[in-house]
Amino acid sequence: MFTGLVQAMGRILQAEDEGAGRRLVIAWDGLATEDPIVLGESIAVNGCCLTAVRIDGERFEVQAGPETLLRTNLGARGAGDRVNLERSLKVGDRLGGHFVQGHVDTVATLRERRSEGEWEFLGFAIDPAWTPLMVPKGSIAVDGVSLTLVEVDEDGFSVMLIPHTLSVTTLGLLRPGDPVNIETDMLARHVRKLLGS
């Protein structure tokens, strides 16, 4: 379980195919030495919950299986690319964003970006099957970042980003056409299941 509050922008050092999956070597610059990553720990990489399978100081390795590569943008990421990183919640941690499972639903594409003062408006295109789970002022995770939805239409949604979010997450680097991982609000998914689709 995560909050969608990104703790660091990591750097992919290496990406190698492993059969139908992929192994990523990621650098977490500035990781606190008193709280190192441990083997088997869950880490959200661009919002996708992955397991640390090897650790070497500020470097760690994760494996992404076929289902993960199908539903996320991690298959398109390579050496030099930046990724959002968040460690899983501990009991008693503050929940500053919203409940994020790290279970990416689908990929959306940035279709519009414009400045509004210091803020940035980002509009995304997404498969219309997912927009019934979104409501204006509701929560969404975009590449693992907890955001508030501004507008929702049949095949897209928009968000507004403050300067802090632009500077400490990969969302500040996005350009039109770039794919992003989307996790809809888990409460909305459960309500839809209970009420029937």
**Contact at 8 Å (CB) between 18 and 153?**
no
**At 5, phi and psi to the nearest 5?**
-100, 105
pLDDT of residue 197: 55
**Strand positions, DSSP E, 28-155:** 42-45, 48-56, 59-64, 82-87, 106-116, 119-125, 139-142, 145-153
pLDDT at 194: 83
Per-residue pLDDT tens listing for the chain (197 residues): 899 999 999 999 999 999 999 999 999 998 888 889 999 999 999 999 999 999 998 999 999 999 999 999 999 999 999 999 999 988 878 778 888 999 999 999 999 999 999 999 999 999 999 999 999 999 999 999 999 999 999 999 999 999 999 999 999 999 999 999 999 988 788 788 788 75
Task: With respect to residue 96, please indicate whether it lies within any of the assigned structural domains.
Answer: no
pLDDT of residue 116: 92
pLDDT reported for residue 99: 86
Q: Which two tokens stand for residue 35?
A: 């709280």
Within-domain flag for 94: no
Q: What is the pLDDT of residue 95?
A: 77
Residue 111 in domain: yes
In DSSP terms, 45 is beta-bridged to 48, 85
Would residue 98 count as lying in a domain?
no
* Torsion angles phi and psi, residue 180, rounded to 5: -135, 150
Asked whether residue 146 is domain-assigned, the answer is yes
Question: Do residues 124 and 177 share a domain?
Answer: yes
| Statement to judge: residues 72 and 114 lie in one domain | no
| Domain presence at residue 100 | no
pLDDT score for 77: 95
The predicted pLDDT at position 187 comes to 79
Measured between alpha carbons, how far is residue 15 from residues 37, 42, 74 in Å? 20, 19, 10
Total number of domains constituting the chain: 2
Range of the domain at 75: 8-87
Domain harbouring 56, CATH code: 2.40.30.20
Q: pTM of the entire structure? A: 0.93
Query: What pLDDT shows up at residue 23?
Result: 97
Round to whole Å and give the CA distance between 114 and 136: 19
